[in-house]
Amino acid sequence: GQQVMQIPQYQHVQEGEDFTTYCNSSTTLSNIQWYKQRPGGHPVFLIQLVKSGEVKKQKRLTFQFGEAKKNSSLHITATQTTDVGTYFCAGQENYGQNFVFGPGTRLSVLP
Amino acid sequence: GAVVSQHPSRVICKSGTSVKIECRSLDFQATTMFWYRQFPKQSLMLMATSNEGSKATYEQGVEKDKFLINHASLTLSTLTVTSAHPEDSSFYICSAGRPNTEAFFGQGTRLTVV
């Protein structure tokens, strides 16, 4: 079945440093979504990527969908302590199907 | 954006009792809802897919008689953990979505079985 992998598992950065997490699917996706989960909280939707090679930006966050629609990345520029949390990618092979979540990347930001 | 309400947010129950968790889509009709389980420091794992008016589809390894799912209307799905045991303690979360849009998650339910 479909598998979604994420690296790294953990990342510790100093405040102000950049951070990137990578997501890879074993199958081609119709779309990929990114979620952020703060400690003790529930996953919060960040963005959806649909098109091959798509790049979207949200302030300091840059999301990219690979040309083959099998991988994606999330890049945070100049991290802040508010960026702390676990970032999950979730891939959907076809609309209406369930999402398969990656294991997440836990980000710690040291002030 | 669309809102999915899940409750209770926290529940503590005695071993052997049953617990019902509700998931409601407040401003849209969700023909399909998904139930996930998240163990501490782990990712979300799909338990079952809930379809309105039909039986739920369970993932491999998930006991359908233990985790009863009902999707009686387009806005409500329930998960009942029957005869709960301490190993059932976990974070349960539902999501609902519409075709071609993102999925929205409920707030999750922290279940503790003592």
Contact A56, A47 (CB under 8 A): yes
What is the C-alpha separation between A76 and A109, in angstroms, rounded?
Answer: 12
Average per-residue pLDDT for chain A: 94
What local confidence, expressed as pLDDT, does residue B53 receive?
80
Q: What percent of chain A shows pLDDT beyond 90?
A: 80
Judged against a pLDDT cut of 60, whether residue A41 lies above it is answered with yes
pLDDT for A7-24, tens place per residue? 999 999 999 999 999 999
CA angle B92, B17, B60 (to 5 degrees): 45
Contact A33 B103 (CB under 8 A): yes
B99 contacts A95? CB cut-off 8 A: yes
Q: Does residue B87 surpass a pLDDT of 70?
A: yes
CB contact under 8 A, B34 and A43: no
Per-residue pLDDT band at B1 (split at 50, 70, 90): low
More confident residue, B104 or B97: B104
Mutate to test the interface with A, among B3, B9, B44, B46 (most CBs of A within 10 A): B44
Q: What is the pLDDT of residue B36?
A: 94
Confidence of residue A2 (pLDDT cuts 50, 70, 90): confident
Q: What is the pLDDT of residues B5-60, one digit of tens each?
A: 999 999 999 999 999 999 999 888 887 899 999 988 888 899 999 888 888 999 99
Question: CA-to-CA distance for B89 and A55, rounded, in angstroms?
Answer: 39
**Is the pLDDT assigned to residue A63 strictly greater than 60?**
yes
Segment A69-90, tens digit of pLDDT: 999 999 999 999 999 999 999 9
Task: Give alpha helix (H) positions in B30-104.
Answer: none
pLDDT on residue A51? 95
